[in-house]
Amino acid sequence: MSTYHPLTEQEAIDIARSIEAFFPADASLSCKEIGDGNLNLVFHIKDSVSGKSLILKQALPYAKVVGESWPLTLDRARIESEKLILEGKLAPGLVPQVYKYDPELALTVMEDLSDHVIMRRGLIEGNIYPLFADHISTFIANTLFFTSDLGMNQQQKKLQVKSFINPELCKITEDLIFDDPYTLSDNNNYEAAIEDAAAALRSNDELHLEVAILREKFLTNAQALLHGDLHTGSIFITKQSTKVIDPEFAFYGPIGFDIGAVYANLLMNYVAQAHWSKDEAAREAHRSYLLEMVVSIWNQFHDKFLALWEAHGVDRLANEAKGYKQYYMKRILQDAAGYTGAKMIRRIVGLSHVIDIDRIDDDAVRNSCQRQVLNIGTQLIIRNRSLQSIEELVDIVKSN
Amino acid sequence: MSTYHPLTEQEAIDIARSIEAFFPADASLSCKEIGDGNLNLVFHIKDSVSGKSLILKQALPYAKVVGESWPLTLDRARIESEKLILEGKLAPGLVPQVYKYDPELALTVMEDLSDHVIMRRGLIEGNIYPLFADHISTFIANTLFFTSDLGMNQQQKKLQVKSFINPELCKITEDLIFDDPYTLSDNNNYEAAIEDAAAALRSNDELHLEVAILREKFLTNAQALLHGDLHTGSIFITKQSTKVIDPEFAFYGPIGFDIGAVYANLLMNYVAQAHWSKDEAAREAHRSYLLEMVVSIWNQFHDKFLALWEAHGVDRLANEAKGYKQYYMKRILQDAAGYTGAKMIRRIVGLSHVIDIDRIDDDAVRNSCQRQVLNIGTQLIIRNRSLQSIEELVDIVKSN
């Protein structure tokens, strides 16, 4: 069974049973394939005796998006598995536990998180997650600091860069986020009603310059080992627990890109509350909550990253040069603002959307939200290199 | 003979003879080992019948500097050979031809350039090289443009980044250029007479901030495949010909680093003409020549790089975004200024010096030159991020 082939449910059960000391000997295992079938098979294996369960995630050798299918490397399963294991070491408790990785089958066996919900869905329902800012700021600070030249042996880091070279998945980001939305592309996908706003993206010189610079940083700036796709659909959550999943886009890139992914998705939810909130008061409350979360994530990330730097910094000059830490943190904030904008814009006019916006059934409200997301995104990008504080970012959101 | 061992002269002759169609059948080959024995063996093989000759360069598994010896990867021979072959394709005629690479023996067989002289020596002797600015600007523009995300397939580029990960040789640069000169280090090496100037480097906060930023770019900015050690001792030259050698430090880094290496060594020669020129008139003439060369290299590099971009740019947004090319080129100039300064300073107080300065036998003149190099280097570093033109760089040189 070691040559690659998509697993059957029975094979998945057999593999699950072979995970040592997980299921009891008398386990009665059932299996359900719960993936969307576009990129991966996801088997949910449950023991009806003990109630224990596992997830088997197997990469498929192709990607399917809106009917099209193209080949996609199975090496992403290795990247995902290795990154998950590393994240588990650097940010304990904030990712699913990995029990086994089988390179031949492109298969990862991991902790079942079905007691959690996907955060995007939770936010749409108006839920509050009091520990999220703390958890995600720890996740980002720990995983990024300890994989950067500030926090790990700089020669080992170069070997890690090599191990996480991820051309195929990076190309998806490069095309869908940093190219298509700003030109006429068959990949673009938006409603005729916002054609004027989409056209404005294609003719804004100031915007193009900044997107080109953000694109260049994505292509060249090996600052830390990113998650690479850290939106609210990659986060499982409860009031007590946060688990970041799906790091198959992991690669060495600019730290602000991971932060921007979180922010973009919180802010799209902020805009979409025009529809999802039950009333004006609920809307204002949920929006305030989201903006406070944005500020709190930055402030906690900032303090935690600097505390790690103070305690574990490996680079003498970076540790000691006066003003360097402030310079470094401000650039992260500026990059985060730019990438937030880029990730908002692409979810409105690009190939892949978010349900926060798309499932708004009132056309006028939905289109109004789409325009607002584009306005905020455009301003965040245009102003990213001059941004001085997280409050300035929030002001841009509020005034657009 | 395929397991690694340092070659004997007879083995070198046998390998040279096996290079197909190079030496005639009746060749009478003699061999001389001409390396300095610190890093590599260099065998010069000559046929007394045809007069034809070859170089065999074999990496040694250690480095020796000032009596100390430490292990050093033989993989650098692969990097050197692959980079030489790539340079030969991208900048034809500007590197020695490679006839054979043997990975087991860490051996490269290449064109003999003993009709050329090492440029550092030629400049000390006051020679003029009318084609150098043209040649080196072509070399830099071609090798860097076509290995950057602007000029090559961006997924292939990532695989090339992977292939040229070069931790051990990068560490030499990181330590000797971007750390030691700014702290108390056993690696430092300077005369007691300039202790005050060396101490000033260690207490200059503004300088440390800029060096930390330049160090970070060296560690993280995978802009193009650099030569990595492009000083005037790595250039063989005649009035008609320029050949760049020794790319064993090759890795993906910031474009300005290669330009800075050339500039630093031209400018140290500029300073050292206080001793080497025969008289005041010769000194002024040679110095003017060197500064004109600095300006001409930038202007030609700038125009050639942009012409390549215009003709061969692969990145839609980078090609089309208004203002991006200017932004890109200005950053290269600013980085080049910073790296020029860093490479000047390290040659005065760091481990490895240049004979332009060290062989000045008059103590007062030599120490005065050392101080002048440190002053120019410090100003170039401190002002690198605000530099607007190549003329401003020249003004800094003239006024220090």
Question: Which CATH number goes with the domain that contains B350?
Answer: 3.90.1200.10
A264 and A389, same domain (yes or no): yes
d(CA A124, CA A272): 8
Statement to judge: residues B139 and B215 lie in one domain:
yes
Residues of chain B with pLDDT under 50: none
Is residue A291 located within the same domain as residue A379? yes
Partner residue opposite B317 with nearest CB, options A168, A182, A222: A182
Please say whether the beta carbons of A270 and A291 come within 8 A. yes
Whether residue B2 lies inside any domain: the answer is no
Q: E strands along B103-144, which residues?
A: 107-111, 117-118
Q: What is the mean pLDDT of chain A?
A: 96
* Inter-chain CB pairs, A–B, below 8 Å: 117
Q: How many CB atoms lie within 10 A of CB A215?
A: 25
In 3D, which of A344, A304, A346 has the Cα closest to residue A188?
A346
Q: B70 versus A74: which is more confidently predicted? A: A74
The secondary structure of chain A in percent helix, strand, coil, rounded to multiples of 5, reads 55, 15, 30
Chain B: give the shortest CA distance to residue A35, in Å.
Answer: 28
One-letter amino acid at A26 equals D
For chain B, how many structural domains are there in total?
2
Q: Alpha-carbon Rg of chain A, whole angstroms?
A: 21
User: Is B132 within 8 Å of B242 (Cβ atoms)?
Assistant: yes
Backbone angles phi, psi at A138, to 5 degrees: -65, -45
Which domain CATH number covers A65? 3.30.200.20
B314: three-class secondary structure by DSSP: coil
CA distance B155 to A101: 26
**Confidence (pLDDT) at B39:** 87
Q: Are residues B103 and B128 in the same domain?
A: no
Of B256, B221, B240, B248, residue with least CA distance to B343: B256
Would residue B385 count as lying in a domain?
A: yes
- A211 to chain B: nearest residue by CA? B317
Looking at the partner chain, which of A165, A209, A215 has a beta carbon nearest the beta carbon of B161?
A165
**d(C-alpha A254, C-alpha A251), whole Å:** 10
**Six token digits for residue A186:** 């068959």
What is the total residue count of chain B? Answer: 400
Any idea which residue has 């973009």 for tokens? Answer: A264
For residue A3, is it within any domain?
no
| Domain termination site, one of B51, B76, B111 | B111
How distant is the alpha carbon of residue A27 from its chain centre? 35
Asked if residue B271 lies in contact with residue B348, where contact means CB atoms within 8 angstroms, the answer is no
Contact between A215 and B318 using a beta-carbon 8 Å cutoff:
yes
Q: Does B223 touch chain A (CB under 8 A)?
A: yes
What six digits make up the tokens of A61?
Answer: 């050798």
Identify whether the C-beta of residue B360 lies closer than 8 Å to the C-beta of residue B369.
yes
Label each residue of A73-99 as H, E or C: CCHHHHHHHHHHHHHHHHCCCCCCCEE
Of A382, A217, A333, residue with least CA distance to B331: A217
Q: Where are the beta strands (DSSP E) in chain A?
A: 29-33, 40-47, 53-59, 62-65, 68-71, 98-102, 107-111, 117-118, 224-226, 235-237, 242-244, 251-253
Residues of A in contact with B325 (CB under 8 A): none
Whether A181 and A313 share a structural domain = yes
- How many angstroms separate the CA of residue B153 from the nearest CA in chain A? 11
CA B62 to chain centre: 21
Q: Is A95 helix (H, G, I), strand (E, B) or coil?
A: coil
In a shared domain, residues A106 and A213: no
Query: Are the Cβ atoms of A158 and B149 closer than 8 angstroms?
Result: no
In chain A, residues with a C-beta closer than 8 Å to the C-beta of B316 are 179, 183
Least CB–CB distance from A209: residue in B166, B205, B321: B321
Same domain, A100 and A165: no
Distance, C-alpha B372 to centroid of its chain = 22
The CA distance from A28 to A13, in Å, is 10
Identify the residue with better confidence: A63 or A384.
A384
Q: What is the pLDDT of residues B176-223, one digit of tens each?
A: 999 999 999 999 999 999 999 999 999 999 999 999 999 999 999 999
- Cβ-Cβ contacts under 8 Å, B205 against chain A: 321-323
Q: Is residue A1 one of the residues assigned to a domain?
A: no
- Rounded to whole angstroms, how far apart are CA atoms A119 and A269? 11
Residues B172 and B212 grouped into a single domain: yes
Please enumerate in sequence order all residues whose Cβ is within 8 A of that of A224, keeping only pairs 6 or more positions apart, or say none. A143, A144, A145, A147, A148, A252, A253, A255
Q: For residue B204, how far is the Cα from the chain centroid?
A: 27
Query: Is a pLDDT exceeding 90 seen at residue A230?
Result: yes
User: Which positions in chain A touch B75 (Cβ < 8 Å)?
Assistant: none
- Chain A: give the shortest CA distance to residue B366, in Å: 29
Q: What is the pLDDT of residues A107-166, one digit of tens each?
A: 999 999 999 999 999 999 999 999 999 999 999 999 999 999 999 999 999 999 999 999
Contacts (Cβ under 8 Å, ≥6 apart) of A8: none
Domain's final residue, options A63, A79, A111:
A111
Q: Which residue of B has its CA nearest to A182?
A: B317
- Considering the domain architecture, whether residues A236 and A90 belong to the same structural domain is answered as no
Question: Is a pLDDT exceeding 70 seen at residue A67?
Answer: no
Tell me the C-alpha distance between A265 and B289, whole Å: 58
Q: Which of A115, A112, A106 is nearest to A31 (CA)?
A: A112
**B384 lies within 8 A of chain A by CB:** no
Please say which residue of B111, B139, B156 terminates a domain: B111
Residues forming beta bridges with residue A63, ordered by sequence position: A70
* Pair (A102, A180) in one structural domain: no
Query: What is the pLDDT at residue A68?
Result: 65
- Kindly determine whether residue B220 and residue A223, on different chains, have CB atoms separated by under 8 Å: yes
Whether B4 maps to a domain, the answer reads no
% of chain A at pLDDT higher than 90:
94
Same-domain status, B15 and B48: yes
Range of the domain at A329: 117-398
Same domain, residue pair B323 and B298: yes
Which pLDDT band holds residue A64 (cuts at 50, 70, 90)?
Answer: confident
Closest Cα to residue B60, out of B106, B14, B99?
Answer: B106
